[in-house]
Amino acid sequence: MKIYEIELENYRQYRGNHIIRLSTDNTHNLNIILGPNGAGKTNLLNAIDWCLYGDEPSLEKTRPELQQCIANEKELSEKGNVIVRVKILMGNEQPEYSFERTIRISKSSIDAHPEEHEKSWYVAYLEGNNWKSYNGSDWNNMTLFNNIVSDILPRGIRSFFFFDGERLDDFFRRGMEHEVKKAIIKVCQIELLDRCIHHLTDKSAELRKGIRGASSEIEDISKAIDLLTQSKRELVEKIENLSKKITEAEKNKEDIDDKLRKFTKFDVPELQKERDRLEIEIKKIDDKIKDKENEIRRHFASGIIFILGFSALKSAYEMIDQRKKGIKQPRIPPDIREKFLKDLLTCHQCICGTELSEGSPQRESIEKLLNSVKFTSKISDSADEGYYKIANILEKCKKFKSERVELEKEYQDLCDDRKKKDQRLKEISERLKGMPVDEIQSLESLRDSFEDEIRKCIAERAQKELQIKTVEEKIKMKNAEFKKELEKDKKQKKLRLKLELCDKSIKALNGIKEKVAKELRERVEQKTKEYFLNLHWKKEVFKDVKIDENYEISIINNLGTECLGTLSAGERQILALSFMAALSSVSGFEAPVIIDTPLGRISGKPKEKIARSLPKYLENSQLTLLITDQEYTPTVRNNMKERIGKEFELRYDEEEVNTEIVEIGGDV
Amino acid sequence: MGFSPEAVIHVEKKKRDGEYEEIHRSPRSPFRSMLLKDIFLVAMMIGYHKKAREPLKGTFHDLFRASTFNSEEEWLLKSIAITEKRNLDVLLDENEKEILKIAEEYANAGILILHDIIFGGTPGDPLKRIESSVKDILNEIRK
Amino acid sequence: MVKKEVNPLIWEELERYTMDENLREFIKGLLLFERKHISEERPRYSDEYDKLIEKHSKNMDSE
């Protein structure tokens, strides 16, 4: 899917009518829209969002004076009445969809507030060779328009196709696993499964409440389920809020760290660098501590049953040992004795010649002897086996304690190491707080308070997560009770079947959700690695990219070490772009990609290196870069030349409050 | 040698749906990732350690086949039976049922104790509490 | 290429998951409904869900 044309009329700084026709050639599918800050690049992206989705997510990046009113200010102040319109033409090998959104704005005087009037929408699509079109005058009633947009690119995942390059770094800051998880989950539309589960749960509650003529036990259980479900919803909401707080605090903390790294006075940057290094090391130690705890737990679980049974094992061993010592070694081995006696009975004659006729006392004596031999030899065989097996187990029990001591020592060493590093972090913090510069002192105190908040929220979240699990167990038990009571009442068979259907579906959907999320995470991991290693200019340095089950991203270099924290800004940008490309490719949608400020906050040589990689980025997609002239140096342009389809320049006239879109070359 | 292929370990159905299920599934249980066989063994040994043995009542449930015990676990069960009966006769094939019955009865009492250790509300790590209760045994082993 | 249906990953997993066919068809119906109304924040799901539940719970009865 490509954007063929964007038409703007009086939208923000685009006064009058402007059309931009993008390159849709399959090999020259890179469009450059160049302009200084404030020229209107971000508002071009906002215009696309406004037309398709009715909102402007990047508005805060616009000049403040242009934020107040969607209509072009100059046009509005001169004419008092303005139509604002954005139209987008999209399609694959030809235009197939046309979307248009319009609003009339008026302003009675200079000081008056702008007023919104008629709103309308228009959508047309190609069916065969004919265009079918629909329009409406109510933005609250645009189901057809919204459905067609959603078929091309659902609202929930547009941010992986239209995005701000400067914000990409957010994914890879410490503590951003939540954002990474959200992105991955969003892109595979797990939301669909969530909606089904949510609606089915509500339906189940509705069916339960609608029960008529049921016993009081059933009603009581039903009420209990309602209360528990409500309790669960409240806990889920609290957890979401805590996660948001943690993300926000992590971001704020990282901002402070950034400021301290760039400080020029005293040894502040060095202290901050040391702190960065220590925090990475502490994270690694925490993982090792967790692994060691699991190892100790596994060792315990496998050995404890024999420790508890030590006295029984020892006692059985001694009994077998006594028996072995007490039995005189027979001259004839057991199996031969048995055969020998059997043969005597068969022949009806003893070895001494005595007759062994049926019922004779001699025969009975030999039969008795045969039975005791069988008996004894079976016990002996078994006891012999037991003797060695139990001896082995007792040996292992002796080792249990020393193995346990060894594991505990290793665990303690890790904890001590962590303590030391924690102590050093405290020292660094104290030194920074003691610096004779107000700004440093207040930054460090603020950082402390963010850390406190993060710690508190993490602890509270863990507690709430445990509470949710308890509530879920109770809901499960109550549902089972409800089902049992319902089964007793034959009149409720229809209801029971409906509830069973809902219940089984919810279970299946949860199972599918878990598997899909895992599969998706693995696919995104694999694609991110593929793109990253393909885009990076030093391929031989990196070996692997991982996204673990906690959605933490790590980069492994060719020495086998994790090195995300030590990537340069340029490398992080490449990683971020790779991640976005992975998300968009795994989503299953083939929408155009628009990146605002793709070279982010990169400066100097790395910028040129990234630019060299960009032509390879999402080669099969139409890619539009909204780029500043500082980013678009002649070297950068040269590196992207082979793929450029069209170049445009945005020229903003401050007096006229108007941006002109001028095509400047690179045409196919 | 192993137990015969048709031999089955029984538990009370009520406890299978109650205590066993909770210990096996609850996120608070340190044994949540273990097989039911392993949970049975821990329950059995806790019952033995606390000298608690309770005959099975009510509806029985087949928890697993006795042939799934490995040889060390098999000899643990047999050692307990030998010690209980003070006799090696229990090793005969025809007495296999007796070995399993003793194991089942210790587990029948032990599962309640284990459940209480994990979910009873006493603060602290349940595994550490079990471990501290076997300190004497560990000291004896060192001698 | 316009994506009208449910994400193929979800569809594949739904096909792979062990369940009876009546349940699978029921879930497919729900997912298609939700996909159709994905752009709505609060879709009116009640009637459609009632219809599907009524139909597929009857099929449970006949098994």
A393–chain B Cβ distance below 8 A for any pair: yes
Q: Do chains B and A touch (3 or more CB pairs under 8 A)?
A: yes
Task: Find the mean pLDDT for residues A644-660.
Answer: 91
pLDDT in tens, A363-393: 888 888 777 666 566 677 788 888 889 999 9
- Return residues 51-70 of A near C (CB < 8 Å): none
Question: Per the domain annotation, does C15 fall within a domain?
Answer: no
Q: Which residue has the higher pLDDT, A638 or A569?
A: A638
Note whether A312 contacts B142, CB cutoff 8 Å. no
pLDDT at B134: 79
Residue A140, helix vs strand vs coil: coil
Q: Do residues A172 and A580 touch, judged by C-beta distance below 8 A? A: no
pLDDT-derived band at A336, boundaries 50, 70, 90: low
Question: Per the domain annotation, does C6 fall within a domain?
Answer: no
Task: Give the CB-side neighbour count of residue A487, counting CA atoms within 13 A.
Answer: 7
pLDDT-derived band at A86, boundaries 50, 70, 90: very high
pLDDT-derived band at A498, boundaries 50, 70, 90: very high
**Nearest chain C alpha carbon to A519:** C9
A191–chain C Cβ distance below 8 A for any pair: yes
Contacts of A393 in chain B (CB under 8 A): 72, 75-76
Task: Find the mean pLDDT for residues A237-256.
Answer: 92
Residues of B with CB under 8 A from a CB of A: 1, 22, 25-28, 30-31, 34, 38, 41-42, 44-46, 48-49, 71-73, 75-76, 78-80, 82-83, 86, 88-89, 91-93, 127, 130-131, 134, 137-138, 140-142
Contacts of A319 in chain B (CB under 8 A): 82, 86, 88
Overall number of domains in chain B: 1
Residues in a beta bridge with A87: A7, A100
Overall number of domains in chain C: 1
Question: Per the domain annotation, does A208 fall within a domain?
Answer: yes
Taking alpha carbons only, the member of A79, A100, A98 closest to residue A89 is A98
Q: Out of A192, A515, A587, whose CB is closest to C35?
A: A192
Note whether A308 contacts B78, CB cutoff 8 Å. no
Question: Per the domain annotation, does A569 fall within a domain?
Answer: no
Note whether A393 contacts B130, CB cutoff 8 Å. no
Burial track A615-637 (b if 16+ CB lie within 10 A, e otherwise): eebbeebbbbbbbeeebbeeebb
Q: Which residue has the higher pLDDT, A10 or A656?
A: A10
The encoded tokens of residue A172 equal 């890879």
pLDDT at C3: 46
pLDDT-derived band at A190, boundaries 50, 70, 90: confident
Task: Find the mean pLDDT for residues A24-48.
Answer: 92
Overall number of domains in chain A: 3
Q: How far is CA A300 from the centre of its chain?
A: 33
pLDDT at B1: 64
A298–chain B Cβ distance below 8 A for any pair: no
Burial track B85-117 (b if 16+ CB lie within 10 A, e otherwise): eeebebbeeebbeebbebbbbbbbbbbbbbbeb
Per-chain mean pLDDT for chain A: 87
Residue to mutate among A293, A296, A297, A308, with most B CBs inside 10 A, is A308
Question: Per the domain annotation, does C43 fall within a domain?
Answer: yes
Question: Per the domain annotation, does B2 fall within a domain?
Answer: no
Contacts of residue A439, defined as CB under 8 A and 6 or more positions apart, other chains included, come to: none
Quick check: pTM over 0.90? no
Question: Per the domain annotation, does A164 fall within a domain?
Answer: no
Are residue A234 and residue A309 in the same domain, yes or no?
no
Question: Per the domain annotation, does B88 fall within a domain?
Answer: yes
pLDDT at A185: 78
Q: Which of A428, A448, A474 is the last residue of a domain?
A: A428
Are residue A259 and residue A128 in the same domain, yes or no?
no
Q: How do strand A115-127 and strand A130-136 relate by DSSP bridges?
A: antiparallel
pLDDT-derived band at A315, boundaries 50, 70, 90: very high
pLDDT in tens, A448-490: 999 999 999 999 999 999 899 889 888 888 988 888 888 888 8
The encoded tokens of residue C39 equal 């752009």
Q: In Å, how far is A155's CA from the nearest CA of chain C?
A: 7
pLDDT at A334: 55
Are residue A315 and residue A384 in the same domain, yes or no?
yes
pLDDT at A124: 96
Alpha helix positions (H), A348-437: 361-433
Q: Is A223 a residue whose pLDDT tops 50?
A: yes
In this prediction the ipTM stands at 0.94
A556–chain C Cβ distance below 8 A for any pair: no
Question: Per the domain annotation, does A536 fall within a domain?
Answer: no
Task: Find the mean pLDDT for residues A23-44.
Answer: 91
pLDDT at A121: 96
Task: Find the mean pLDDT for residues A401-411.
Answer: 90
pLDDT-derived band at C1, boundaries 50, 70, 90: very low
Q: Which of A477, A492, A512 is the last residue of a domain?
A: A512
- Kindly give the parts of chain B with pLDDT less than 70: 1, 33, 142-143
A190–chain B Cβ distance below 8 A for any pair: no
Q: Do residues C15 and C58 touch, judged by C-beta distance below 8 A? A: no
Q: Out of C8, C39, C45, whose CB is closest to A154?
A: C39
Q: How do strand A644-653 and strand A623-627 relate by DSSP bridges?
A: unpaired
pLDDT at A352: 87
pLDDT at A175: 56
Q: Out of C13, C23, C39, whose CB is closest to A150?
A: C39
pLDDT at B122: 78
Q: Across the A/B interface, how many CB contacts are shorter than 8 Å?
A: 112
Q: Out of A1, A154, A516, whose CB is closest to C38?
A: A154
Note whether A398 contacts B82, CB cutoff 8 Å. no
Give the residue carrying structure tokens 């990537």. A567
Q: Which domain holds residue C40?
A: 20-61
Burial track A434-447 (b if 16+ CB lie within 10 A, e otherwise): ebeeeebeebbeeb
A590–chain C Cβ distance below 8 A for any pair: yes
Q: Is A241 a residue whose pLDDT tops 90?
A: yes
Q: Which domain holds residue B103?
A: 8-142
Alpha helix positions (H), A263-348: 268-308, 310-326, 334-347
Question: Per the domain annotation, does B1 fall within a domain?
Answer: no
Question: Per the domain annotation, does C53 fall within a domain?
Answer: yes
Q: Is A271 a residue whose pLDDT tops 90?
A: yes
Q: Which domain holds residue A656?
A: 2-153+592-665
Q: Is A583 a residue whose pLDDT tops 50?
A: yes
Note whether C17 contacts A512, CB cutoff 8 Å. yes
Task: Find the mean pLDDT for residues A169-188.
Answer: 71
Contacts of residue A667, defined as CB under 8 A and 6 or more positions apart, other chains included, come to: A23, A645, A646
Task: Find the mean pLDDT for residues A630-653.
Answer: 88
Question: Per the domain annotation, does B43 fall within a domain?
Answer: yes
Residue to mutate among C53, C60, C61, C63, with most A CBs inside 10 A, is C53
Q: How far is CA A470 from the centre of its chain?
A: 24
- CA A275 – CA A278 distance, rounded (Å): 5
Q: Which of A382, A411, A428 is the last residue of a domain?
A: A428
Give CB contacts under 8 A, 24+ apart, made by A177-183: A177/A550, A177/A551, A177/A552, A177/A553, A178/A243, A178/A246, A178/A247, A178/A551, A179/A247, A180/A547, A180/A551, A180/A552, A180/A553, A180/A579, A181/A551, A183/A583
Are residue A631 and residue A489 in the same domain, yes or no?
no
- CA C63 – CA C61 distance, rounded (Å): 6
Range scoring the smallest mean pLDDT among A167-181, A273-287, A412-426: A167-181
Question: Per the domain annotation, does A508 fall within a domain?
Answer: yes
Phi, psi (rounded to 5 degrees) for B31 = -105, 15
Q: In Å, how far is C63's CA from the nearest CA of chain A?
A: 11
Q: Is A64 a residue whose pLDDT tops 60?
A: yes
Note whether A505 contacts C38, CB cutoff 8 Å. no
Dihedral of alpha carbons A637, A639, A642, A645, sign: negative
**Nearest chain B alpha carbon to A390:** B75
Classify residue A654 by burial, with Cβ atoms within 10 Å: 0-12, 13-18, 19+.
exposed
- CA A279 – CA A574 distance, rounded (Å): 24
Residues in a beta bridge with A19: A7
Question: Per the domain annotation, does C36 fall within a domain?
Answer: yes
Chain B: list its partners (3+ Cβ pairs within 8 Å).
Answer: A
pLDDT in tens, A636-647: 888 888 889 999
Are residue A385 and residue A453 in the same domain, yes or no?
no
pLDDT at B73: 94
Note whether A469 contacts B91, CB cutoff 8 Å. no
Give CB contacts under 8 A, 24+ apart, made by A74-77: A74/A15, A74/A656, A74/A657, A74/A658, A75/A10, A75/A15, A75/A16, A76/A10, A76/A105, A76/A106, A76/A107, A76/A114, A77/A107, A77/A110
Residue B17 DSSP symbol: I
Range scoring the smallest mean pLDDT among A7-16, A160-169, A277-286: A160-169
Q: Do residues A29 and A645 touch, judged by C-beta distance below 8 A? A: yes
